[in-house]
A = this chain, B = another copy of it.
């Protein structure tokens, strides 16, 4: 299938939903990508299984604090430079591009570059959501070296990295992001062949984003309809059912740009006279959702936030006091829940002292579960203590 100018807004919206509050801004991604595709043409979207085994695939995207990325709007020129430097350095030309995460902006970076360079994009990505650190890409988790990797920032700053492990690379990436990019830059990374990329990617996520985005657009302002359609869409994908974890208003946003990330805590209060508060840890993305002292969900399960009035995804950098929101939790795809993956994307990897317990178990433990339509929290018959 072709990605056209008309698909871009939906991919951005759906990517932002999957991105758990991260992945970049929908409006920024949409505006820039629409202009690029209008000028440079449509992009072939290739199903993951159809890439030839010996093709060279390279991941591209924006890195840094989303709050900064929104202030440094780019059409991906730096990403093209990063790709060119990496191609020259490795002597391998990209036959196709892939997103390293889902997001309003980052799902579209490979699309923008592909349009300008006449390359196809794979219908897949390296997270199936967004995470703040590079070693959290399934590419790295399942054994592909992240480096050689190139970063391009402002004013001609660029580096080529060859690091022994993705975690150390990630630390240096953040330093470059701050020093060379003022908080945000572009990277090209994870040079893979086709046979490898099939093994280590989360499939279908661009077409899924497109469908999610269409559903979000068509149900603008209609939460009930959206929830039902969302349930149907996710049942065809490798994610679990969507569970509403909380509805309330934003009463506190304690967040700062630290070390190239947006980091903080958001507090939500129940509507009406309810005294229940939800707190959510943020590191670019929503990492946890806690109802009082009860943990309802943690990474790698997806914690997504929607504006109650518009029923559109909210990225964490746009959180403001008084917003009326719905928080949803979705079981992560199995590729993010393996023992190997949880060593890298479990709560402890974000400095949060919690074990990973799948969201469907957590809800039972705190005495809640969802009704058969997945739309209402009801008391659980198997509450444990």
* Chain A positions near chain B (C-beta within 8 angstroms): 89, 154-164, 168, 171-172, 175-176, 179-180
**Dominant SS at the A interface?**
mixed
With both beta carbons as reference points, the residue of chain B lying nearest to A161 in the complex is identified as B159
User: B162 and A158: CB pair below 8 A?
Assistant: yes
28 intermolecular pairs with C-beta atoms under 8 Å apart: A89-B89, A89-B160, A154-B164, A155-B164, A156-B162, A156-B163, A156-B164, A157-B163, A157-B164, A157-B168, A158-B161, A158-B162, A158-B163, A159-B159, A159-B160, A159-B161, A159-B163, A160-B160, A163-B180, A168-B179, A168-B180, A171-B179, A172-B175, A172-B176, A172-B179, A175-B175, A175-B176, A175-B179
Query: Which residues of B have CB within 8 Å of A171?
Result: 179
Known: A163-B180, A175-B175. 8 other contacts (CB 8 A): A156-B163, A157-B162, A157-B163, A158-B163, A159-B161, A159-B163, A172-B176, A172-B180
Min Cβ gap A78→B in Å is: 13
Q: How many copies does the complex hold?
A: 2
With both beta carbons as reference points, the residue of chain B lying nearest to A149 in the complex is identified as B159
Query: Which residues of B have CB within 8 Å of A180?
Result: 163, 168, 172
Complex Cα gap A160–B159 (Å): 6
Query: Which residues of B have CB within 8 Å of A157?
Result: 162-164, 168
Query: Which residues of B have CB within 8 Å of A172?
Result: 159, 175-176, 179-180
Query: Which residues of B have CB within 8 Å of A155?
Result: 164
Query: Which residues of B have CB within 8 Å of A176?
Result: 172, 175
Query: Which residues of B have CB within 8 Å of A89?
Result: 89, 160
Min Cβ gap A97→B in Å is: 23
Min Cβ gap A147→B in Å is: 9
User: B156 and A159: CB pair below 8 A?
Assistant: no
Query: Which residues of B have CB within 8 Å of A161?
Result: 158-159
Min Cβ gap A79→B in Å is: 16
| 4 nearest CB pairs, A to B | A175-B175, A160-B160, A155-B164, A156-B164
Query: Which residues of B have CB within 8 Å of A154?
Result: 164
Min Cβ gap A144→B in Å is: 16
Complex Cα gap A346–B168 (Å): 34
Complex Cα gap A254–B77 (Å): 48
Q: Among the interface residues A155, A156, A180, which one has the most CB atoms of the partner chain B within 10 A?
A: A180
Complex Cα gap A164–B181 (Å): 11
Query: Which residues of B have CB within 8 Å of A179?
Result: 168, 171-172, 175
Complex Cα gap A250–B156 (Å): 47
Complex Cα gap A159–B172 (Å): 10
Complex Cα gap A168–B159 (Å): 12
Min Cβ gap A163→B in Å is: 5
Query: Which residues of B have CB within 8 Å of A168?
Result: 157, 179-180
Min Cβ gap A287→B in Å is: 23
Min Cβ gap A109→B in Å is: 21
Complex Cα gap A160–B171 (Å): 16
